[in-house]
Amino acid sequence: MLPFAPLLQGGTLLKRYKRFLADVRLDDGRELTVHCPNTGSMKGCAEPGSRVWIRLEQKAGRKLPGSWELVETGPGGLACIHSARANSVIAAALALDLITPLAGYATVRPEVRLPGGASRFDFMLSGPGECVVEVKSVTMAVGEGLGAFPDAVSLRGQKHLRELTDLAASGRRACLLFCVMHAGIERVRPADEIDPEYGRLLRHAAAQGVEIIAWSVIPTPEGLAVAGQLPVEL
């Protein structure tokens, strides 16, 4: 488990606005404006009145007193809306060979830009061989255990798919990893109803040899626990 430090504080979401701000009422009655570390639409994860968990942190120069981490989207169903957590928990899992399709590499390097490439990819696995890995955080549940990505049109995501496709076409190993940080999601598909171009590019990437995998990460107020592989429906 990747623990939260400091421990999270429970509360109620009052509203999310201006993309990066959220007003919350903590269980002790304090009302605070905190950072919302998610650039997407957060469809299904930002309903006023939702139960939320906040990481409070006092640092010199910090404008806001904390960050929003978790939301309860249904009875007992938690989602981690802090999208950068996906890379942290996947990095730890890769180092321990917990993601079996990507196990066996000696080195895990984060934030790698390939020679001549326009994008920076989340991970480069090497020794023996190499594999480029791009991670996407999935928190949008669309019903009956199904999750979808993206929750808003993602030009950056489209660009990554094109470049992963080019890598696979050139004979290199390339992988798109959906990190599912929502306890209620059991399988994943592209959100064609939101970003049809992303869905088209994802299917094309798979046809060209890009490995598309999804991994479940179960959020709790104590931390994020790596679970197991989930089906991807293309």
Beta-sheet strand order (sheet of 223-230) = 2-3, 223-230, 211-219, 173-180, 130-138, 120-126, 107-113
Same domain? For 35 and 109 the reply is no
72 — phi, psi (to 5°)? Answer: -90, 115
Same domain? For 131 and 189 the reply is: yes
**Residues 212 and 115 placed together within one structural domain of the fold:** yes
- 150 and 192 in a single domain? The answer is yes
Residues 123 and 68 in one domain: no
Are residues 165 and 123 part of one domain?
Answer: yes
Give yes or no: residues 118 and 214 share one domain.
yes
Task: Report the candidate in 135, 131, 160, 146 with the shortest Cα–Cα distance to residue 191.
Answer: 146
**Statement to judge: residues 95 and 195 lie in one domain:** yes
Range of the domain at 160: 85-230
| Structure tokens that stand for 43 in this block | 């469809």
Q: Report the CATH number that the domain containing residue 72 is assigned in CATH.
A: 2.40.50.580
115 and 169 share one domain:
yes
68 plus 101 within the same structural domain: no
Whether 95 and 170 share a structural domain: yes
- Do 113 and 214 have their domain in common? yes
Q: What is the pLDDT along the chain (234 residues), one digit of tens a residue?
A: 899 988 999 999 999 999 999 999 999 999 999 999 998 999 999 999 999 999 998 777 778 999 999 999 987 689 999 999 999 999 999 999 999 999 999 999 999 988 766 678 999 999 999 999 999 999 999 999 999 999 999 999 999 999 999 999 999 999 999 999 999 999 999 999 999 999 999 999 999 999 999 999 999 999 999 999 999 999
Whole-model pTM? 0.94
